[in-house]
Structure 1
Amino acid sequence: MKRGIYLSVFLLSGMLLFSACKKKATLPPDEKEVIVPCSGPEYWTNKEVFRANAIGESYDQMTAKKKALSNARAELAASISTVLKGVTDNYVNSREFNNREEVEERYESLNREVVNQELNGIRTICEKQVKTQEGKYKTYIAIELASEKLLEAYNERMQKLSREERMRIDYDYEKFKQTFDREMEKFSQSRP
């Protein structure tokens, strides 16, 4: 009986401590939290999609939108390149090619080609436009690209590349996909 009471008190204390730690941190009195549209955890890259968000500002409404989209595309391309670089490094290391340096150069070239072409398939998932007190337009935008779509495009190009007589790359899609999935998992967990 005593043991049950101690256990209950212990669990209750733990729950109170946990809920106290979960409270929102208070800001210093001279600081104010800024809420940025089209941003936050629901707009972060995860295992299924690459995502990016950005802001564009201009006295011209369309220029503000173009700036935001251009910035978001650049951020998305950088994220994709980071993941593909990791995949390429790990995949080439695991395959033990004799012509390693040439193979790595071809993979890097392929990475750039795929990223540049697949950015055309992005989808806008959030867009908000506001007008500032200064009379400028500000566009908040979030975009995404399905990782599966990128992987399919990469696979298609790799199959063509591996058929080239000069390269004779030992390309294994399943091995590549496993490496890609691991890198996506690491990348999506690197966010706060």
Structure 2
Amino acid sequence: MVSDKLIFYQNVLGSRRLSNFFWAVVTITGGIGFLLAGLSSYLGINLLVVSDTSSLQFIPQGITLIFYGIIGSLLSLYQWFMIVLNIGSGYNEFNKKTNIATIFRWGFLGKNRRIEFTCPLEDVKAIRAEIRDGINAKRKLYLRVKNKRDIPLTRIGEPMSLSDLENQAAELASFLSVPLEGI
């Protein structure tokens, strides 16, 4: 996060997070393992080095393993696709020189891959923090704009620490000279 007197800039982390890499590796490993175990039962040859599949019958165990292997591999391909495209990454820029607030994110392939929202700084009413603790914790910052809905400013996924959220919210509200709601 870079801030000087006229420009406030924040990078937003997308899907290239360590947790996404971890789960993509786990699902591809599991998917390929299930697929090889199912194919081993069909072919009668042990294709897995780490396990003995000679006792598996093709019907019903082998078919089930092949099904789960295909589903796991497809899920992993989707996760790798998201990581390669870095879905959700972008930046928030608040520029007092041009008097424009720009929220930019990368989306899926297609004509709407670039998701960009701009508005004059005068239209910014407040910075809103949403904090909900529990099993499904939610800690997000929103840009409250006149005559529009709240625009999310923070990344999706793992919630940020409460102190980071408060610091970012206070710094941004101070820069824009708008009230801070929700804290």
Q: TM-score, normalised by structure 1?
A: 0.21
Task: Report 1 or 2 for greater relative contact order, CA contacts < 8 Å, sequence distance ≥ 6.
Answer: 1
Relative to total residues, which structure has the larger helix share, 1 or 2? 1
Q: TM-score, normalised by structure 2?
A: 0.22
Relative to total residues, which structure has the larger strand share, 1 or 2? 2
